[in-house]
Amino acid sequence: MTFLGSPRVRRRLAWLALVLGGAGVLALVGVLLPNNGGPRAKPGAPSLTATEPGETSPLPGAYPDAATERARAKAVATVRPLAARFLTAVVQRDPALARSLLIPRLRSGDLPLSSVPASEVIPGATVAFSGPKLVGLVYQFSGDTSGSNPILLAVRVKKANGRWLIDYLRQGHASRSIYETNFSPPGFSPGSQSTSFTAWLPLLLGFVGLILLVVMVERALSHRRRRKFL
């Protein structure tokens, strides 16, 4: 009781609570904002919205002509079987085939869907966005025998040097607010960025600034108390 009865201790605990509360708010903002990040379409342009399997959704800000539409439809038709072949290889535990369909940077990483049983039927894909050289697909897997914990997988396929390869993979779980047609993890949609140190830098600077403010206020109050007792 003597420890908490000290006015100085109570003040420092109050400042500590303020700092931790501010840090919690900054961290919450940093976690919530990037979840579905991506560029907004220009006024009048097609929006970046997911579609039902079999349909295509344009890249944001695109004003396609007939030739672009044909190229996009051809890209989706080409990418669907490639992505299905990759997922089949992953589910049936054929890592060599699966990695051959990835860009070199992804081949050394872990493959997704490790918890999906080998008997899982590869579902149809929702097209999140599409273009002549870039297509984003989202798949939903049951995840377990009860189907109560569905798995979402974002797959982006890019054409480079005349070959289509998967250049992005991100697994997540469906919920009441996140489902196959709106699953857009950081870095998936064109123009969005993956969570990195640069994304957290403003939050870190804000936290440091908050600490400096607390220190300055504490010093000012201490100076006033010393002058009061002189």
Domain locations along the chain: 44-194, 196-230
CB-count exposure of residue 63 (10 Å: 0-12, 13-18, 19+): exposed
What pLDDT, in 10s, does the model give residues 121-177? 899 999 999 999 999 999 999 866 565 679 999 999 999 999 999 999 999 999 888
Euclidean distance between CA atoms 48 and 34, whole angstroms: 16
What pLDDT, in 10s, does the model give residues 213-230? 666 666 666 666 666 655
What pLDDT, in 10s, does the model give residues 24-37? 666 655 544 444 43
The model's confidence at residue 186, banded by pLDDT at 50, 70 and 90, is: very high
pLDDT reported for residue 96: 97
pLDDT reported for residue 9: 60
Euclidean distance between CA atoms 134 and 167, whole angstroms: 10
Q: Which residue has the higher pLDDT, 57 or 38?
A: 57
Say which CATH class 44-194 falls into. Answer: alpha beta
